[in-house]
Amino acid sequence: MRVWKSITVLAATAVLAALPVAAQQVGTATAVNPLSETTPPGATTVALTVGKRIVHKERIHTTPTGSVQLLFLDKSTLSIAPNTNILIDEYVYDPNSGNGHMLVSLTEGALRFVGGKLSHEGEAEIATPAAAIGIRGGTGTVHYDKKNGAQVIDHFGIFAIHNGAGDMMIKRPGFFVNILNWTTPPSEPMLVTEALNTHYLSILTSLPGQNGGVAGLKTVVIGDCGAGHNTIGAAQGNDCPSMPWTNTDSGESDAFQLIIQATQLSTGRGETVTGGTPGRRGR
């Protein structure tokens, strides 16, 4: 089942026809803390390093000390926590029209998604064994493990959740749901607590002494965009991202808002990569 249906069959067919089949690259690893591993389709598993080109159907695995940030062609990013397994199940993107579709399968662990052009079209999806999560114009955190199922946090945007028990949406930032398994409906949306934010901050942030794989990197200064500043482009704030501050009464910490904005800043200055590959649509 497609969670979003914003692209017609004719438009999708035209996009697929326009994309070069031979161009497999879908993104780049922009930050890597060891040990993180990657398995390209049909190849052996190797250590993942900064600058590595990510291709369609690539599997990425992080160890207890590993973490990764991926930058995709449409400027979407995935921050991948330790002890996480993902598969780039589908990525189709036409930079000329902005059309395409993104499907990432999360089988274990946690990730934070910051949407790019595809999510603004409602064409980004994260699949877990407990539910499929469609993302429109959003930023969110998704966690899955076999014991507890999936947890989906809406930091910004709209999240459409589908499994064998039905469909629901999270439309209010700062709320989350739990989904035990594919046949169990999601819980009622609950307010994100500071403790929950702190937990995900701790696992989605580099550990002390780690540098994201960039030799010599110790400190990153983001101008005047410190926690609590809500004016983009303030004095001495030339490094501030263009994404407006999203102020809600949801209890989200300033620190997490800063990380989201810093990610948007980094993707805006990220390496430009080209390519794409057609694949099946998410169901």
pLDDT tens digits, one per residue of 214-258: 665 554 443 333 333 333 333 333 333 333 333 344 434 444 444
pTM of the model: 0.71
Examine residue 246 and state whether it is found in any structural domain, yes or no: no
Supply the range of the domain harboring residue 165: 9-203
Please give the pLDDT value at position 130. Answer: 98
Examine residue 248 and state whether it is found in any structural domain, yes or no: no
Examine residue 223 and state whether it is found in any structural domain, yes or no: no
Examine residue 178 and state whether it is found in any structural domain, yes or no: yes
Examine residue 25 and state whether it is found in any structural domain, yes or no: yes
Examine residue 283 and state whether it is found in any structural domain, yes or no: no
- Dihedrals φ, ψ of 45, to 5°? -75, 130
- CATH assignment at residue 115: 2.60.120.1440
pLDDT tens digits, one per residue of 48-67: 998 999 999 999 999 998 99
Examine residue 24 and state whether it is found in any structural domain, yes or no: yes
Please give the pLDDT value at position 216. Answer: 57
Please give the pLDDT value at position 157. Answer: 94
Average pLDDT, the chain: 76
Average pLDDT per block of 10 residues along the chain, 283 residues long: 43 40 74 90 90 93 93 94 96 90 97 93 93 94 97 96 96 96 96 94 82 59 38 37 38 45 46 37 37
Examine residue 82 and state whether it is found in any structural domain, yes or no: yes
Domain count, the chain: 1
Please give the pLDDT value at position 3. Answer: 52
